[in-house]
Amino acid sequence: MTEPKPEALDALLRAFLSEDVGRLDVTTEFTVPAGTRAQGELIAKSECVVSGLPVARRVFELLDPALAWEEVAAAGTKVTAPAPLAYLAGRARSLLTAERVALNLLQRMCGIATATRRFVEAVAGTPCRILDTRKTAPGLRPFDRQAVRDGGGVNHRYDLAEMVLVKDNHRRLAGGVARAVAAARAGAPDTPLEVEIESEAELAEAIAVGADRVLIDNQPPETVARWCALARTAARPPFLEASGNMRLDTVRAYALAGVDAVSVGALTHSVTAADVSLELFTG
């Protein structure tokens, strides 16, 4: 899986800070005396799965390289409120200026990890894995993906270069599954290839042309179970994935239908942020 290097992540975080600060943090600059030191703690005020503390730390460090930091909750840990997540100390002005960006990312990542954990728990006891999708807000994908991993999920392709995924529009514009797969194999022969299917005929065609993965989209669990059984009879069965408006109350039925994975766009496109705050004191 392709993930940005630390310097690329720093560039993103600097851009987020620049967007938030603008020309000057006028409130902090004119109310907090220069040289003031502060210490405090990050507190989870809602039950959540922890994710994003290293990211929050880096946001603070970009404005105060001498930041003192102690994490007290490990990534992937489920905490009940109120729960301390980390203690920090540094230049008061820097901590205040970085606070909103750090909290926005931390709250979002904890929210994604929490939602992911619920889906993972819903399919517990089956071989089915919970996958994310590319339905992320631009600029936030590396952080969202980390949160999914912290919640126990598995990342799908990072970007359009990482995997061929022939979807409905590709099929129509290419002239069908076989033509799309043949063209993709010719142009990117070493790239994993997945085909999204919406009918039994398309399933048979995808298997016949040797798709590595088959994505069964927007079908009821009963149909998915029947198509999975058919696919498993192939000489080289593909990896089977289901998608399409997956919910906590339905995902287990899909897991029991026999798919290897379920992809859930809601993990990252409909995030409910965790409630996390920063409490600062002089000292």
What rounded mean pLDDT belongs to the chain? 97
Residue indicated by tokens 């099929």: 171
Task: State the pTM of this model.
Answer: 0.96
State the DSSP code for 50. Answer: -
Superfamily of domain 123-269: Aldolase class I (3.20.20.70)
- Hey, which bits of the chain come out as E strands? 37-44, 48-49, 68-71, 78-79, 83-91, 129-131, 164-166, 193-197, 213-217, 239-243, 261-263, 276-282
φ and ψ of 170, to 5 deg = -60, -45
Q: What is the pLDDT, as a whole number, of residue 283?
A: 77
CB 147 within 8 A of CB 51: yes
Q: How far apart are CA 252 and CA 1, in angstroms?
A: 27
Q: Note the pLDDT tens digit of each residue in 2-48.
A: 788 999 999 999 999 999 999 999 999 999 999 999 999 999 999 99
Q: Domain boundaries in the chain?
A: 6-120+271-282, 123-269
End-to-end CA distance of the chain: give it in Å, rounded.
Answer: 43
Q: What is the pLDDT, as a whole number, of residue 1?
A: 52
pLDDT more than 70, % of the chain: 99
Q: Write out the catalytic residue numbers.
A: 100, 135, 167, 196, 217
Half-sphere exposure of 260 (CA within 13 A, CB side): 13
Cα distances (Å, whole numbers) of residue 167 to 16, 147, 180, 236, 268 = 33, 26, 10, 21, 20
Q: Note the pLDDT tens digit of each residue in 165-185.
A: 999 999 999 999 999 999 999
Q: Note the pLDDT tens digit of each residue in 113-163.
A: 999 999 999 999 999 999 999 999 999 999 999 999 999 999 999 999 999
Kindly report the CATH number that applies to the domain delimited by 6-120+271-282: 3.90.1170.20
**CB count, 10 Å around CB of 68?**
12
Question: Average pLDDT in the 92-116 region?
Answer: 98
Residue indicated by tokens 């819903």: 122
Q: How far apart are CA 139 and CA 162, in angstroms?
A: 18
Question: Average pLDDT in the 86-108 region?
Answer: 98
